[in-house]
Structures are given as C-alpha cells and as structure tokens.
Amino acid sequence: MRALHSAGFAVLERLPDPSAFALATSREFDLVGWFASGGLADAETVRHIAEHDVPLIALLSEATPRAVASCLDAGADACLQLDADEIVVVAQAHAVLRRRGLPSTTAMEACGLLQVGDLTVDVDRCEVERDGVFIALTASEFRIVEFMARNAGRVLRPHEILNAVSETYEYLPREAQEVFKVYARRIRRKLEPSEEEPRYLVTVRGFGYRLEGGAPARTRRAPATGHTA
C-alpha cells in the first residue's frame, strides 16, 4: 500500500470477504490486488475475478513456483510476494496497466487528469466530469474536489481540506466543520446522483470526509487496490 500510495495510486484495503469480492469484480477499479496463498480455493477465487476482465495481481505470502503457476493459470495478470521491493511493486502495477491498454497514474497526471472511479478531474482545464458528463463547479468547489482527488480514499478533516485550498485564511478545526458542511451540500447537489446516498463525497462520522469513485454503498467496502490518481 505504501508503495502504491507513493506512486500516486489511490488504494483501498479490505479483508477478503464476500463484499470485498463484489467490489473487486465490479470493475470500478483499474487494478485489483488479491491476497492468495496459492491453494486450490484461492486459485478458484482468482479465476472468478479474472473472468470479469479485471486487471489482477495475485499477492502471495510466499511466491513459490507452484503458487505462482497456480495463480497465473487461474487468470492473474501477475504475481507479487507481499514483501517485494517497493520499486518492483510499482513497476509491476504499471506493467499490468500498460499491457491492458489502461493509462498509468503517471501518464494521466502528465495529461493533467486525476481519475477517481468514474470521476475525472481535469486540472489543466479546471473541469470535472462524472462518467463523461460535465459537472459545473465554482472555483472554490473545484479546488476542494481537486485536493480530495489527489488524496482519494483518504479520510480528510474539514480544516485540512479548507486550509489546503485557501490562500489567505487559516481555518480553525471547529469553524471549518461548519463551513465545510456548506461546501459539501453544494458539491453533492451537483455531483451526486442522490444527495441522500452520496457515493463520491462520503462522510466518515466523527472523522471527516473522503472522495470515492461512485461505488454503491453496499459494495464500497473492499480489498481492492484502485488506481485513480
């Protein structure tokens, strides 16, 4: 996770349960990393994920020839041992995306684009699209969404967000909570298909907010590594 974060990937980590499998196969993420021991049961899970045409890296506690062969035969694009060097982890992720014809994080950022699920933030044009549909935001709203897109998947506190996008004023934590509630309502009114069930600007009660890629709430919790920005 540290290696992918440092390379600009937004990463979600979840235990491998049924809801995690549902999100891994939802195709919301550009890349999925799934822990597998190399046994028959794990190989079958890898096979089911691969059948959904999802770029997949099998993560192995011990990358023995038998375990690697089992996962590759099941449809994994690559295999990595969990303690692999960070340089190898990032290079392998980029290689899988490249072979699949998907733009890597570095390539997208070079074009001024931040991708979070089906949300595209065009930094150069100061525009936001949701699944190809233009979303009209004010300058302040765009700066908030851009900052959160650069930190997609992370829980951010209101004063952390506002102070990152404000050039002249420093918000205290308490006042930032009230101010950001106003921004959150305005952004959700424009961004969310349903304000009552936000899928993008998500509240984490007692902590803050995070920007996600638009997955339905019932499948949002997942063990997948999602390449966004």
Q: Three-class SS string for the chain? A: CHHHHHCCCEECCCCCCHHHHHHHCCCCCCCEEEECCCCHHHHHHHHHHHCCCCCEEEEECCCCHHHHHHHHHHCCCEEEECCCCHHHHHHHHHHHHHHCCCCCHHHHHHCCEEEECCEEEECCCCEEEECCEEECCCHHHHHHHHHHHHCCCCCECHHHHHHHHCCCCCCCHHHHHHHHHHHHHHHHHHHCCCCCCCCCEEEECCCEEEECCCCCHHHCCCCCEECCC
- Asked if the structure places residue 144 within a domain, the reply is yes
Residue 44 and residue 88 in one domain: yes
- Asked if the structure places residue 226 within a domain, the reply is no
Please count the structural domains in the chain: 2
- Asked if the structure places residue 206 within a domain, the reply is yes
Query: Chain-centre distance of CA 102, in angstroms?
Result: 15
Residue that finishes a domain, picked among 66, 83, 107: 107
Give CA–CA dist 155/204, Å, rounded. 7
Give CA–CA dist 19/41, Å, rounded. 17
Residue that finishes a domain, picked among 107, 140, 157: 107
Residue 72 and residue 149 in one domain: no
Residue 217's pLDDT is 53
Residue 96 and residue 57 in one domain: yes
Low-confidence stretches of the chain (pLDDT beneath 50): 218-229
Residue 137 and residue 156 in one domain: yes
Residue 46 and residue 93 in one domain: yes
Residue 27's pLDDT is 76
Residue 91 and residue 177 in one domain: no
Residue 186's pLDDT is 95
- Asked if the structure places residue 112 within a domain, the reply is no
Residue 147 and residue 195 in one domain: yes
Residue 139 and residue 101 in one domain: no
- Asked if the structure places residue 20 within a domain, the reply is yes
Residue 99 and residue 142 in one domain: no
- Asked if the structure places residue 184 within a domain, the reply is yes
Task: Give residue 123's domain range.
Answer: 118-212
Residue 229's pLDDT is 38
